Amino acid sequence: LTHCEHHRGRVQTSSPEGHPVVGVYVPQCDDHGQYIPLQCHGSTGHCWCVDNTGQERPGTRTAPGTPSVDCDKPGERVSFLRCWCLFLNL
């Protein structure tokens, strides 16, 4: 397993019964098991960019309802709709 897949699996089975805990951030991995550059917390709506180790890139976190940072160009913002489309893999 990659670091992202291991992290995701550990979070998804963090309750004593082996079920996901509601409200916990679950990292999003791509088809190759790498962290998707734009991560969003499903419960809070916050989004941020991560590096290839899953660490948050400083200055990229955005509040719910605000445009997200373009992770390829951290100084630029993208639409909130694009953030959710990426998060939902639409």
Q: Alpha carbon of 56 to those of 8, 20, 40, 85: distances in Å?
A: 15, 22, 11, 20
62 φψ region: left (φ > 0), alpha (ψ -120 to 50), beta (else): beta
Of 4.10.800.10, 3.30.360.10, 3.40.190.10, 3.30.70.100, which CATH number belongs to 3-87? 4.10.800.10
Which pLDDT belongs to residue 74? 60
What's the rounded Cα separation, in Å, for the pair 2 and 9?
Answer: 10
Using only C-alpha atoms, the chain has a radius of gyration, in whole angstroms, of 13
Per-residue pLDDT band at 90 (split at 50, 70, 90): very low
pLDDT digit string, tens, across residues 38-67: 999 988 999 999 999 999 999 999 999 898
Chain centre to alpha carbon of residue 75: 19
